[in-house]
């Protein structure tokens, strides 16, 4: 980069007292805490948790000493805006700013050649603006391009959804309009004001006041992103037509530093209780601090999750941030123009998935992910959803068109939140703030069906993620908990009756089956926060819980504690989870709350460790598993007869069962079976399952064996021989999704000059047929490029100058010539890189008839099949003729024997054969 070039940077400083701040955040969203919803004002945040004034001045002196111009200071002291020449930046941060050709966008970008560094003790958290590789982009689409079209049922042109259609679907009969509330919008462009006026006229909405807040000197005019800006404004006012203001924060899209500046300005202004963002842009540790400040100030931030379908690899950091609410998109069907909600399905392009780097937040932990392919360890998204297709928008200075995307969904949720916070303000209560902690509680309680439209159909699968994900009952990775169901959710987020049950997540008890140890008593506290006495009742009470009282009268501003104790028969409940949602009724105001009570009954057969057994190594072994001991013990008051078995032919366990006296312990030893040496470049899974004969309860310890590192899940080229340039060819889990087919890692092969190679050998049987399979993509395209695959010295595939293509599965049948067969892949891709993943080698058992019989005029066939292969039965009447005729359609085999028949052979003789095809 020329040293005279000037850049604007936003330097982030770390907060003070971060441990205390995290405790405060938990308390602010815990109804049992005396700090519940006692949100901070911006100045309070700055005084208590912002960087100190001394640290801020130290950073300013550092900037001035390196000839930086201090452009702006921020009242919370989280950021310092500076401008400087490339030469001064290089010297201050010990880097060299360089320019590069962007691999996908047809432009140059700049970035430092190494990580910046500063003197020890200087309070710097992050420096934003040192690169412009990723610039803000809107997340919207025109019409239904790329998705399954849905018939419109709205009142706009072409039956698109317009204005009151959204309130009729998501807030039917609700008189709230957002009066007294402000919605803030994050925008990286501006808009044509007459487009908003025309939309409001078309929708019959009284014009809502708009306030434009220009960031970092942005002035406009629209630069091509006005469709996103207009869409966001129009969705907010459609859902909340009585808003007192929409604050449109506008910034240029040509800088990275401006993103933190804009978000920090929204936080320090503190004017909007609800914020919407429909732009994708990179975030950093300083950005995350700003999101946390917003949560501490009671501001709800709704972010469009994206319009790319399921995330197959690493998602953008903003999409996984645990302090904002991610919004997915749906296809909405209403009863007609301005009609009631009828149904919703997941919009096909709505994004969702599991973060590879952000641990699961406390409010998402404990959620059953068994049916939705989610994670119990990492952040899952989205959180909620709303209409994202067939949405009428006026933009581009007079264009009226149907747009699609989660860009529609996020501002609709911000508008809905304005209704919630209007109700809270009318009752003298603070705003709801960051809603994730409470909606995950609602989602797992009895009020879920009343508060949310549970979206159970549709999916967001795509070419890079063909099996993830599907909408399922309850939470899923397409639509989260679903869309709002009107007044019930508003009342749950902003209660009007003032009756609280604490703790808000209910109570939980844990026992062991056939164990006399009691779980003890716990307290459920009922609090009347209002000025009117409340008559209350609670029920139904499960048989395994004893209550100290089930009804009563609460005086104003008072509380009562109810003692809940497990009944004697609780230990007789079957192993597993038992729960009931008690209904706490406010008889005075006619309102109801759900109080979940959980009982977990553990099987008395205790297994340790239960986290699984894994083995890995080269094809043919040896795999790196020494004999593994699994401890078992009996926590019951009586003896336990138990059995154990392994579902994998690669793992043996012994002994296979026995009897444990009360309090007795034992061990089971797991060892690799000799058959594991037959595992080629592939993986196999199974489980070691322990069964308590008395209760019938089974506990599984998972087992995984992986040979040859065909998915590169070690994070490197282990088990492969690599030749080439390591900077151009490497294993990565942090690139964009196009380079990763499945799992967390893939090979990125971008050798620019001489072909790089990956090779390994696998043990083989001479004459045996093998299926060689791998996945390849060329996400950027461009010449020159070369890809070749060789097995046993023979070429399977050789191609040069291939165009851009998505993930493609290539499969080849190879007959081995010796006891060891080489597998070699060669790569050259000068413009960008190939993605390479999921290499497998599988021995193929040729189809052989096990029996042929004639019965009642039919010919019956049986043969043993290999899983996932297809078999075509064929015949001819004369072996000297070349053509074979198909007998029925191909048969896809699962495993084991396959049966077929020739029901009416009319010829005097027929010859039969089987043709086997790869999956």
**How large is the C-alpha radius of gyration of the chain?**
32
Q: Tokens 């109804």 belong to which residue?
A: 31
CA separation for the pair 577, 857 (Å, rounded)? 57
> What average pLDDT does range 839-849 have in this prediction?
88
Does the structure show a pLDDT above 60 at 145?
A: no
pLDDT for position 304: 97
pLDDT for position 737: 63
Under 8 Å between Cβ of 190 and 229: yes
pLDDT for position 144: 42
Does the structure show a pLDDT above 50 at 146?
A: no
Write the DSSP assignment of 488-530 as a string of letters: HHHHHHS-SS-EEEESTT-EEEEEETT------EEEEEEEE-S
Under 8 Å between Cβ of 240 and 174: no
**Higher pLDDT pick, 919 / 512:** 512
| The dihedral formed by the CA atoms of 477, 479, 481 and 487, expressed in degrees to the nearest 10 | 170
Residues 6+ apart with CB under 8 A from 294: 266, 267, 275, 301, 323, 324, 434
Query: Phi and psi for 585 in degrees, rounded to 5?
Result: -100, 130
pLDDT digits (tens, 9 = 90+) for 519-529: 678 899 998 87
* pLDDT band at residue 919 using 50, 70 and 90 as cut-offs: low
pLDDT digits (tens, 9 = 90+) for 583-601: 888 887 767 777 888 888 8
CA separation for the pair 792, 795 (Å, rounded)? 8
CA atoms 157, 163, 165, 169: torsion sign:
positive
Share of the chain above pLDDT 90, in %: 70
The three-class DSSP label of residue 466 is coil
- Residues 3-28 as b/e (b if ≥16 CB within 10 A, e otherwise) read eeeebbbbbbbebeeeeebeebbeeb
Under 8 Å between Cβ of 490 and 591: no
pLDDT for position 550: 87
CA separation for the pair 388, 561 (Å, rounded)? 45
DSSP state, residue 314: P
Does the structure show a pLDDT above 50 at 168?
A: yes
pLDDT for position 151: 61
pLDDT for position 148: 43
């Amino acid at each position: 980069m020329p040293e005279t070039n000037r850049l604007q940077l936003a330097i982030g400083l770390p907060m003070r007292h971060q441990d205390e701040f995290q405790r405060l955040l938990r308390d602010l969203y815990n109804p049992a805490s005396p700090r519940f919803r006692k949100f901070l004002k911006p100045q309070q945040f700055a005084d208590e948790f912002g960087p100190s004034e001394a640290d801020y001045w130290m950073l300013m002196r550092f900037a001035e000493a390196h000839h930086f111009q201090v452009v702006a200071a921020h009242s919370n002291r989280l950021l310092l805006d500076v401008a400087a020449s490339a030469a001064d930046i290089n010297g201050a941060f010990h880097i060299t700013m360089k320019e590069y050709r962007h691999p996908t966008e047809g432009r140059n970008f700049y970035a430092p050649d190494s990580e910046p560094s500063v003197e020890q003790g200087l309070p710097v958290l992050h420096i934003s603006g040192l690169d412009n590789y990723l610039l803000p982009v809107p997340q919207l689409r025109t019409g239904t391009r790329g998705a399954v079209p849905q018939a419109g049922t709205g009142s706009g042109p072409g039956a698109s959804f317009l204005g009151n259609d959204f309130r009729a679907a998501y807030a039917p009969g609700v008189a709230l309009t957002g009066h007294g509330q402000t919605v803030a919008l994050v925008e990286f462009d501006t808009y044509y004001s007459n487009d908003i006026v025309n939309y409001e006229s078309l929708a019959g909405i009284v014009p809502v006041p708009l306030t434009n807040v220009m960031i970092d000197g942005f002035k406009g005019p629209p630069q091509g992103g006005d469709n996103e800006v207009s869409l966001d404004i129009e969705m907010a006012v459609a859902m909340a037509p009585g808003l007192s203001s929409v604050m449109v924060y506008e910034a240029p899209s040509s800088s990275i530093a401006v993103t933190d500046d804009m978000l920090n300005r929204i936080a320090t202004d503190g004017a909007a209780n609800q914020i919407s963002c429909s732009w994708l842009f990179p975030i950093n540790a300083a950005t995350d601090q700003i999101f946390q400040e917003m949560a501490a100030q009671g501001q709800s931030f709704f972010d469009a999750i994206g319009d790319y379908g399921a995330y197959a690899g690493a998602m953008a950091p903003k999409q996984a941030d645990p302090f904002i609410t991610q919004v997915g998109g749906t296809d909405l069907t209403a009863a007609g123009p301005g009609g009631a909600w009828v149904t919703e399905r997941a919009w096909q392009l709505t994004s969702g998935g599991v973060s590879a780097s952000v641990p699961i937040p406390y409010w998402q932990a404990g959620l059953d992910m068994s049916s939705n392919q989610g994670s119990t360890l990492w952040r899952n998204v989205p959180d909620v959803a709303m209409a994202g297709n067939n949405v009428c928008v006026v933009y581009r200075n007079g264009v009226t068109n149907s747009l699609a995307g989660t860009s529609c969904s996020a501002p609709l949720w911000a508008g809905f939140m304005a209704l919630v916070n209007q109700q809270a303000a009318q009752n003298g209560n603070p705003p709801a703030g960051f809603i994730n902690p409470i909606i995950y509680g609602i989602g797992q309680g009895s009020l879920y069906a009343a508060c949310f439209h549970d979206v159970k159909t549709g999916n967001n699968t795509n070419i890079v993620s063909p099996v993830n994900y599907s909408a399922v009952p309850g939470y899923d990775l397409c639509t989260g908990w679903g869309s709002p169901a009107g007044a019930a959710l508003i009342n749950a987020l902003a209660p009007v009756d003032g009756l609280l049950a604490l703790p808000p997540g209910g109570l939980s008890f844990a026992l062991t089956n056939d164990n006399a140890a009691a779980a003890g008593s716990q307290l459920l506290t009922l609090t009347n926060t209002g000025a009117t006495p409340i008559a209350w009742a609670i029920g139904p009470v499960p048989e395994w819980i004893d209550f100290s009282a089930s009804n009563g009268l609460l005086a104003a501003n008072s509380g009562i504690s109810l003692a809940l104790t497990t009944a004697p028969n609780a230990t007789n409940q079957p192993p597993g989870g038992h729960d009931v949602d008690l209904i706490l009724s406010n008889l005075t105001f006619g309102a109801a709350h759900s109080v979940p009570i959980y009982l977990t009954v553990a099987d008395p057969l205790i297994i340790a460790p239960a986290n699984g057994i894994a083995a890995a190594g080269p094809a043919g072994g040896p795999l790196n598993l020494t004999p593994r001991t699994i401890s078992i013990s009996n926590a019951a008051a009586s003896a336990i007869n138990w059995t154990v078995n392994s579902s994998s032919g690669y793992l043996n366990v012994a002994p296979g069962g026995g009897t444990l006296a009360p309090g007795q312990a034992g061990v089971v030893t797991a060892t690799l079976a000799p058959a594991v040496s037959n595992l080629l470049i592939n993986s196999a899974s199974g489980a070691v399952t322990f069964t308590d004969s008395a209760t019938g309860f089974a506990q599984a310890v998972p087992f995984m064996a992986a040979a040859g590192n065909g998915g590169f899940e070690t994070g490197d080229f282990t088990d492969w021989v690599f030749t080439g340039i390591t900077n151009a060819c490497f294993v990565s889990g942090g690139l964009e999704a196009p380079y990763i087919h499945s799992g967390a890692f893939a090979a990125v092969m971008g050798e620019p000059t001489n072909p790089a190679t990956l090779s390994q050998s696998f043990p083989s049987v001479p004459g045996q047929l093998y299926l060689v399979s791998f996945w390849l993509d060329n996400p950027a395209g461009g010449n020159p490029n070369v890809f070749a695959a060789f097995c046993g010295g023979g070429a399977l595939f050789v191609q040069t100058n291939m165009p851009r293509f998505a993930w493609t599965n290539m499969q080849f049948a190879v007959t081995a010539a010796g006891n060891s067969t080489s597998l070699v892949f060669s790569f050259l891709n000068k413009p960008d890189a190939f993605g390479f993943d999921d290499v497998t080698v599988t021995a193929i058992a040729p189809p052989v008839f096990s029996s042929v019989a004639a019965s009642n005029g039919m010919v019956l066939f049986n043969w043993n099949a290999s899983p996932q292969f297809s078999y075509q039965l064929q015949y001819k009447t004369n072996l000297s003729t070349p053509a074979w005729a198909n007998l029925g359609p191909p048969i896809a085999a699962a495993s084991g024997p396959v049966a077929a028949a020739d029901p009416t052979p009319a010829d005097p003789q027929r010859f039969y054969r089987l043709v086997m095809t790869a999956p």
